[in-house]
Structure 1
Amino acid sequence: MRPRTPTAEESAISRLVLWNIDLTLLDVGQVMRAAYAEAFEKVTGEPLVYLTSSAGRTDSEMFFEFCARNYVDLEPDTDTLADFLAALETAFGARHEQLLAKGRVMPGAAASLAAVASMPDTVQTVVSGSTRANATAKLVAFGLDTHLNLAVGGFGSVNYPKSSLIQSIRLHATGEGGRAYTEEETVFVTGSAPDVRAALIGGATPLAVLNGTATEGQLREAGAQMVLPDLSDPRAVMTAVHRATSR
């Protein structure tokens, strides 16, 4: 379906549209879990027996929770987190050929990215819990990087929560006239309740989709006022983004 032509009113609005990757645009959870296990055991010497939810978390946050849940004590004055992230990129990169076989694109993700990209003065990027290298590899594998400016994205390569990543992107990505984007011009598309809360803290309007395990009630309770069933209707996605940035 061809995206509709934006109206004159829409053309006058500057937008920063942030996308969560996992379970919003695509799902490579099976491959990612195997990479986590390999990297964790390589760095700590202990098997990764107990996992944790990745919803709303960065890889940095997950590593420390992995350690707590698996009773691994970190030695002081060591850069174990950096070692884990490096090992994780190596382990995930080695499984690159498994992404298409064991992963999937969420319905309508590619078409919705293209549709939002057709809206004038709109910048799209990602806020991902994965490191920059792993997040990029996921998107490129499924051809979803075309309409995204990954140079201004936020990634789990740094030890900051997603709310801080959202705020940093909003303040440092330049909108019309070289100014920072306001909270009213920024949207975060996600299927995770913790991400919805991160959006509100970081200064973005959450646009929730029912792609993940969260229910509509959980997403609304977290603070989402707009909830779409999925991304299969690009026109509905464009309309929701417009409404979020024209209040």
Structure 2
Amino acid sequence: MLDRLLLLWDVDHTLIDIRGVGSLVFGEAFQEATGRPMSAGMATAHGHTEPVLLEKTLDLNGIGDRDEDLFRRFADAQAASYRAHLVDLTQRGRVLPGVETALRTLRAHPGVVQTVLTGNTRASAKIKVGAFGLDRYLDLEIGAYGDDDAHRPTLVDIARQRAGRCHGAVFDTTATILIGDTPKDVEAAHSAGVRVIAIASGSSTSAELARAGADRVVTTLDGVDAPHLVTELLAGLSRNLTSGEQQ
């Protein structure tokens, strides 16, 4: 049984679904940063960090002239656009089923530390998570974000180090679990040597997540026995998390 546990939650399609607002905001930020509309559309995200997604979208739109300040301009414009579309965010978006109950129960346990590991920039992630009130359960200061590093597996160690400094503890690989919804999340966790729970709440199916090698795949957090979930995580995922678990 572990004494401490660091949980690294992905944001989009794991905690929340913002139902098209992200693409709208990305397009506005793209035009603001480049001076050109995103005429060929946006590259497919599939778990990419924001710097990688921007690079792929620049390629897709035939923009080869990229100064070193481009991503900063994009990130600033993206955060400003999210703030401008805050009403759209809350009216069109939603917290995914079972998420708030799980976060609230886990937050109450003295041995559990929760934060985010996301390809979003820090500023945009804080706006999105805060818009739905989930920041009350998550320590966003110790999270890892796309503007920390473009390589998602590196973000795991960044979050572990931040959490360790903040809490005066060592969160080794056995005491860290990443929770996400894409094969990229699974790949990042395994590359960093930590366990991963995959939730089939995004575009990836349970079968795809299982093939990617997730330690545990669940269809949803809805209906989870939250107190039992705490025990399961601290015990090392030794028993079922939900009745919707995929073997």
Report the TM-score, using the length of structure 2 for normalisation.
0.88
Deviation at 1:202, TM superposition (A): 2.1
1:113 aligns with 2:103: yes
Q: Contact (CA 8 Å) 1:231, 1:237: kept in 2 or not?
A: no
Distance (Å, rounded) in 2 between the aligned partners of 1:170 and 1:177: 10
Matches within 5 A, 1:219-234: 219-234=209-224
Q: Contact (CA 8 Å) 2:199, 2:220: kept in 1 or not?
A: yes
Gaps of 5+ in 1: 1-8
Residue 73 of structure 2 is aligned with which of 56, 63, 83?
83
1:63 aligns with 2:30: no
For residue 145 of structure 1, give the secondary structure of its aligned residue in structure 2.
helix
Deviations 1:96-137 (A, max 9, x none): 111111111100110010122233311000011111121111
Aligned positions, number: 236
1:140 aligns with 2:130: yes
Q: Contact (CA 8 Å) 1:74, 1:80: kept in 2 or not?
A: no
Matches within 5 A, 1:1-247: 9=1, 13-48=3-38, 49-75=40-66, 77-174=67-164, 178-235=168-225, 237-244=229-236
What fraction of aligned residue pairs are identical, expressed as a percent?
A: 30
Distance 1:240 1:57, change over 3 A: farther
Deviations 1:155-206 (A, max 9, x none): 1223422211111111332289823211000001111111111111123211
Q: Contact (CA 8 Å) 1:184, 1:204: kept in 2 or not?
A: yes
